Structure 1
Amino acid sequence: MSTSLADLRYFLNRMIGLFRRSVASLRTRGWQATWQRIRVHTRSLPPPQRAPLYLPPAEAFAPFEVPSSVEPRVSIVIPVYNHVAHTLACLRALAAHPPQVACEILVVDDGSSDETVQWMPQVRGLRYEVRAANGGFIEACNDGVARSRGDYVVLLNNDTVPQPGWLDALLETFGTTPAAGLVGSQLLYPDGRLQESGGVVFSDGSAWSYGRFESPDDPRYSALRDADYCSGAALMLPRALWDQLGGLDTRYRPAYYEDTDLAFAVRAAGYRVLVQPASRVVHDEGTSNGTDTGSGIKAYQVRNRGVFAAKWAPVLADHPAPGSVPTPALLHRRQRQVLILDELVPQPDRDSGSLRQYNLIRMLLAEGAHVVFVPTRREHGGAATEALQKLGVEVWYAPYLEGVGTWLREHGPRFAVAMMVRHHVASECLPLLRRYAPQARRVFDTVDLHYLRERRGAELAGDAGLLRNAERTRTRELAVMAGSDITVLVSDAERAQLQVDAPAVRVELISNLHEVAGAGAPWSARRDLVFVGGFRHPPNVDAMQWFIGDVFARIRAQLPEVRFHCIGADVPPVVQALAARQPGVEIHGFVPVVTPYMDEVRIAVAPLRFGAGVKGKVNLSMAHGQPVVATTCAVEGMHLRDGDDVLIADDADAFAAAVVRLYRDEALWQHLSVAGLRNVQQHFSLDAAQATVRRVFLE
């Protein structure tokens, strides 16, 4: 495929940007940290690693136990007709990796004549239900659900091997996805190839198993998605909805198209039908009825297609024509598609910028948009990528993402909006978007004004070279704004700065996005001080050098029992060395869940001496009712007033005095706690940003 001028400009801009950032990093981080960052950008990418499939070994029958509960939340209904070896493999998988949720397992015997009758009663915890007469798959399912006791019901074929976590992933989807009505698993062949990640139905009633024979890791098939139907081999829905719909339609007896019909009925009732690839189930397709549609039970598949097409003709008229090849563009054609370009997927447990981006994505999904995330470094982000996929974000990565330009050449035309995050990513990607997605609204998310942060750091350090770098960053950042349709800022202070520096730029404000957690523990139950911030961010390194080196000893002189908890990834040696010399300082490094430190520590400190944007560490504490002592820089643009919402101090003596005063004064502490919660709700909550998000991305 030929390389366009836009592709060449992308490569050149990327190399120039990497060189410039490396030079700046040498001055601020030193050669070791800079070399590590260069290696990250240039290393080869391994393919993403998923857990190997669990397949229970074939062995002689011996009694065993499966999960069971007298008050199940989920009922797993397994219809069987002979093939006891498959049934045992399915049950052994459930026993080997029991779900976290309380469940019951019902094997509904539809007239087996093999060892099923002898062996199933010996499986402890199993509800073995024998039907009076053979009636086929549909009647066995309806009968089994009628005997179940759970709030949710799962239909599970006996020729399946559920993988660890499969059931909990299905159930979790109902809690995180609005209007979820039916959720199916990703089905795999025993050799690991994809059998189906949801189904596509064409206008004549024929169907397509999406992703058949391809890799289950392919980004097209590995994210939560609305599907036309999900196979009855493994699907979940609320028992109340099942009863409302009357179960599987018996006009399709004995089998085939009943699961497709159920999905259409769920949708007609106002609910969504979803496939959740985080739920993986191995399915030995064709065990019960073979694959030949010309004879036997399988022949009903052909007959029932006509029955289905006649029943749902008005709905099918809006479906793709037979022969269409399903693609992401086709499957999401009814949604507004939003592209996000950033170096890496957000890690909301590590930095406030990631939390803001993650919550923005959640807001877009809740508004019905389809979000596609392309990390320009092409890396699979492990758990962070999988978390986005479970929400329904189409995330791309190597080897399926060969290059940003190549990918945009194929996918660019489907986007209504393309958001570029941070100025160096935007500089690289703007030419590609102009060439391959000219119809898309170009949104530039600054995260913060980099040139403003760099300028302040240079002025604090008294470094003329850094000051020149900041001016070069200013030129590049303003050029990106000029090439974008909308520039997104995080604070009113930055908006005021741009009114001076670039008054013609269209600006919108989407600040930090937090959910208000609540007040946490009262003053009397709290103790100590805390700081939260990642140390790849130079302002945080400087803040801890100043606080631990100059401020904390003054606090300990008046509060000798107080401890200081320093939380954040990538703690540099200079901070660790300072902490080792200062009694009462505890360096925790990265902490996956910081909530206990927000809910149980008395005061948060934000001693930043330079920076820009809005400080997520301040929002995070206030969202938990934890008062904050901060510098003027740390609360810039956050609608906070000294003494009313926060305590502000900028020199070591004043900062220490403010901490000691707040630590001892319960009434002041309570006042600031309530005011901080109110501030987050009014200015930094998801509700506060909703109108702007709709205006930028959806109108």
Structure 2
Amino acid sequence: MNQIKKLLIIGFVWPEPKSSAAGGRMMQLISIFKENGFEITFASAAQDSNFMVDLSEFGVIKKNIELNSSTFDDFILELNPDVVLFDRFMIEEQFGWRVIEKCPKAIRILDTEDVHSLRTARQKAFKENRIFELEDLLSEEVAKREIASILRCDLSLIISEFEMNILKDVFKINEDLLFYLPFLVDEMKEEELLKLPSFDERKNFIFIGNFLHEPNWNTVQYLKEAIWPAIKRDFPEAILEVYGAYPSQKVLQLHQPKNGFYIMGRAEDANEIVKKARVVLAPIRFGAGLKGKLLEAMQCGTPSATTSIGSEAMHENLPWNGFIEDDSVEFAKKAIELYKDENLWKQSQKNGIEIINKCYQKSAYSSQLISLINSLLVDSKSHRLHNFMGNLLQHHAYTSTRYMSKWIEAKNK
């Protein structure tokens, strides 16, 4: 009889699938491991939130832990997991050395969410009004931390093929340490569109996104200042509803019903709201990873208007489910056309289904991931032996982080 394998996930935050794509991604990972017989414990030092998912409903054990505390050592020693999944590189920095010290045999996996240094470098280039170059990454401070974390782990999950190529070509990371894992959804048949609200039953443009994420706030500013005035000029009755978790005061101040610009706040059920909208607007100007809001639009049969950054690595060479445009004036024109032209709108819906089925099939990736993890469980020694740079970084980080953490713990006492 096979022994049940234990997975420990150390979360940056508790999963909130209704608040962010990162929360949805985490629940997808949990479902893969659950379906493959893993016993899962989810631990985090984050505060509980009103919108976090009830992990017990998914058969996951919830554990509150502390930063810079040897109580974690006792906890992990007792749990003795086979696999530890770090949610973002900051969590690996904080807890990685403790995992190595107490459970050296555990396979260490990093879920990057997206390449943070890519997002940061693009944001800097945008704010400095210059074109982002891949070489910018080499001088990015956060890249040094992020790449070191990837090298220290046995495997890192990368959500975007564009980012896979950056890690291999710019940072020269061995492919054996990386696994491409996009968002994962079930297959969608074209006839399912008939069950969704029709063109005539839908109304309004929408934007949806978590406001703790800087690219989302910037997108709403761009909509308000450049794109929406151009849309309203040619389509005076147009309405835009902006949804998103954690809106700040500066977001709420953009609410202007007289101009058809509505700040709606958190969406209780994002899926239902997107299904009732006619077009999703997402003119994203910087960022990284894949855009959960755009995949969700496809699943809801809602065409979307986005930029080359928004659509990056999301559709291979397939036609987009709407359009991709970086110029604000053209963006506004095409948004109106997509909203008003029923034939174009219906074709865009079909394009979305083709993208879902070609690029995001759960069955295509989940078995590969589990197979790779099982092979690491059988022979991690050889895999680690060939990761010399990872061992080197582990040695130095282990020493420095360990003493810093011990010092903080002693100081807190």
Q: What band does the TM-score fall into relative to the shorter chain?
A: 0.7 to 0.9
One-letter amino acid of the counterpart of residue 590, structure 1: R
Distance 2:139 2:75 in 1: 33
Which residue of structure 1 aligns with residue 102 of structure 2? 436
Distance 1:657 1:515 in 2: 34
One-letter amino acid of the counterpart of residue 482, structure 1: L
Matched, 1:356 2:25: yes
Which residue of structure 2 aligns with residue 514 of structure 1? 185
1:420 to 80, 86, 94: 86
User: Residue 693 of structure 1: CA displacement?
Assistant: 3.0
5+ unaligned residues in a row in structure 1: which ranges? Answer: 1-317, 319-332
2:123 to 417, 437, 457: 457
Once the two structures are superposed, residues 61-106 of structure 1 have per-residue CA deviations (whole angstroms, 9 ceiling, x without a partner) of xxxxxxxxxxxxxxxxxxxxxxxxxxxxxxxxxxxxxxxxxxxxxx
Distance 2:353 2:204 in 1: 20
1:623 to 299, 311, 314: 299
SS in structure 2 at match of 1:579: coil
SS in structure 2 at match of 1:384: coil
User: Residue 461 of structure 1: CA displacement?
Assistant: 0.3
One-letter amino acid of the counterpart of residue 565, structure 1: E
One-letter amino acid of the counterpart of residue 513, structure 1: L
One-letter amino acid of the counterpart of residue 351, structure 2: A
SS in structure 1 at match of 2:278: strand
Matched, 1:686 2:362: yes
1:394 to 61, 68, 74: 61
Distance 2:262 2:142 in 1: 36
Matched, 1:603 2:279: yes
Contact 1:490/1:512 (8 A) holds in 2: yes
One-letter amino acid of the counterpart of residue 113, structure 2: V
Contact 1:532/1:567 (8 A) holds in 2: yes
CA 1:532–1:682 in structure 2 vs 1: closer, same or farther (change >3 Å)?
A: same
Distance 2:275 2:21 in 1: 18
CA 1:528–1:688 in structure 2 vs 1: closer, same or farther (change >3 Å)?
A: farther
Contact 2:254/2:263 (8 A) holds in 1: no
Which residue of structure 1 aligns with residue 76 of structure 2? 408
Which residue of structure 2 aligns with residue 60 of structure 1? none
Equivalent runs, 1:209-220 vs 2, <5 Å: none
Which structure has the higher relative contact order (CA within 8 Å, separation 6+)? 2
Distance 1:462 1:393 in 2: 45
5+ unaligned residues in a row in structure 2: which ranges? Answer: 131-135, 376-413
Which residue of structure 1 aligns with residue 52 of structure 2? 384
**Comparing 634-643 with 605-614, which one deviates more in the overlay?**
634-643
Contact 2:316/2:359 (8 A) holds in 1: no
One-letter amino acid of the counterpart of residue 94, structure 2: E
CA 1:553–1:471 in structure 2 vs 1: closer, same or farther (change >3 Å)?
A: same
Equivalent runs, 1:563-602 vs 2, <5 Å: 563-580=239-256, 583-602=259-278
One-letter amino acid of the counterpart of residue 512, structure 1: F
Distance 1:686 1:473 in 2: 31
Query: More helix by proportion, 1 or 2?
Result: 2
One-letter amino acid of the counterpart of residue 183, structure 2: N
Contact 1:508/1:692 (8 A) holds in 2: no
CA 1:403–1:659 in structure 2 vs 1: closer, same or farther (change >3 Å)?
A: farther
**Comparing 451-460 with 596-605, which one deviates more in the overlay?**
596-605
One-letter amino acid of the counterpart of residue 651, structure 1: D
SS in structure 2 at match of 1:524: coil
Equivalent runs, 1:80-229 vs 2, <5 Å: none
SS in structure 1 at match of 2:255: helix
Distance 2:267 2:338 in 1: 26
Contact 1:603/1:627 (8 A) holds in 2: yes
Once the two structures are superposed, residues 15-68 of structure 1 have per-residue CA deviations (whole angstroms, 9 ceiling, x without a partner) of xxxxxxxxxxxxxxxxxxxxxxxxxxxxxxxxxxxxxxxxxxxxxxxxxxxxxx
Which residue of structure 1 aligns with residue 144 of structure 2? 475
User: Residue 469 of structure 1: CA displacement?
Assistant: 11
Contact 1:359/1:686 (8 A) holds in 2: no
User: Residue 640 of structure 1: CA displacement?
Assistant: 5.1
Which residue of structure 1 aligns with residue 35 of structure 2? 366
Identity percentage of aligned residues = 23
Once the two structures are superposed, residues 404-460 of structure 1 have per-residue CA deviations (whole angstroms, 9 ceiling, x without a partner) of 33322322x3x2211111111111111111111111111111100000000000000
Distance 1:698 1:590 in 2: 40
CA 1:463–1:426 in structure 2 vs 1: closer, same or farther (change >3 Å)?
A: farther
User: Residue 645 of structure 1: CA displacement?
Assistant: 3.4
SS in structure 1 at match of 2:163: helix
Distance 1:390 1:643 in 2: 38
1:633 to 277, 300, 309: 309
Contact 2:209/2:244 (8 A) holds in 1: yes
Contact 2:322/2:338 (8 A) holds in 1: no
Superposition RMSD in Å: 2.6
Matched, 1:614 2:290: yes
User: Residue 685 of structure 1: CA displacement?
Assistant: 3.8
